[in-house]
Structure 1
Amino acid sequence: MPVLLRRVFAWLLCVVCALAALPCLDFLARHQLRQHLVASASATLGALTHADSPHQWSARTADDLIAGRAFGTTDAQFVEDGFQLRSRGNEIQVGLVLAAAMDLARFPLLDIDLRSDSPAALGLIVAESLEAPTCMSATTPVARGESLLTINLRSIEWQCQGSASAPPRRAAMLRLHLELPADASVTLRHVRARTQTHLDAPALPNLALPLLPEPRDGVEFDRMLSRIAENAGQMTWPI
């Protein structure tokens, strides 16, 4: 009997400890999420107020490119100043790694630094969510030699599922689409998305970003998460 009582007591103790740990785990998760949100918001605001961008990709490292490779050619390699692609006469696509969906309404300008040994054309392929159909932009001419292209995503023409469409407002997937003659090569060096206007400290009260209340305010935090989930197209709220 004492052995049975000890087992029952040990089982009850485990249950009590588990129940006591649940609020602690919830607090820890909310604390970690709060720290992540604060760090993310600080990084975004810091970049914006210093005329910088949180969205940039160096073509010198495989970490910034989807699968670390190009699609549409097997002749691609990292060289000293970027990612060199050689065409087989068909289109080439290079996917850019996105840590999260990018707000194209806030970052509508795309600067692309590249070098081409032949005239070429460059377009963009965007999907607003991983389940959404892809949209393709009109192509921008690329001259022979070194080029720094600035593409305004709001002013170029777009087609989604074969029909003219409004510019996408966000990007969960972003690819560069290159067209160049067979045996011609392009070296992609750097890509950066940026805002149209410089943001200074006095402009911050008028800024809108996808912000959340602190996770410690459980009811309001859960309500805002539900609102975002139900309105995926709504990207910004006033500070």
Structure 2
Amino acid sequence: MTVAMQALFVHGMGRSPITAFPLLRQLKQNGFSPSWYFYSVTFQNFTSISRRLEQKIERLAAQGDYVLIGHSLGGVLLREAVATLPPGTRMPTRIILLGSPVRPSRIAKALKRNWLFRLATSDCGQLLASDDRMEHVAASQVPTTSIIGTKSLGPLKKLFGDEENDCVVSYSEVCADWITEEIRLPVSHTFMPSNSLVVKTVIECLKADQPVLSPAPDQNQ
């Protein structure tokens, strides 16, 4: 029997896997075996979070083929974790980034000295504000799709100018020459994992890679 393709979701900063419930549900209904990874930026630093994620990915890789989906900071963590996988580890067939920055966030830079921001986001917030640290997060070496939100608000014009943005990150903060595919959608940043258009697009991208999939096993049986 063919084993269902595994799909791991990693949420963004200050969020939780609950934000991706519609995506996880649709993944299962479309023949994938979905799972998620939870972390807290308030109580864990970037290195400890990414190392634990690396271990989870190792376990997935040992079980068969898999894809990775990361929202915002989740995509940064995925790139770091994949880059540090032990030699010989099975690599993901695709990474999908949802509004995930590949360069420092101008919002994080603006808030990096704010005590409330520092308290809530700790080391991960400072990483997103750092040119040097973001530059040292490895580029993806596997096929990578970046889903980019374009739904912004007028009051943000002072921060982003005329640059395309999703209310949190701008186009220049999420684009890179190593990204295989860019998809722009009229959605805002925070609720991308639960947005029906984003969910539909993710499923279409993954099914294009795996046109024939067996139904995911019912783990409750």
Q: Is the TM value for this pair above 0.5?
A: no
User: Whose Rg is larger?
Assistant: 1
Give the structure with the larger strand fraction. 1
TM-score by length of 1: 0.26
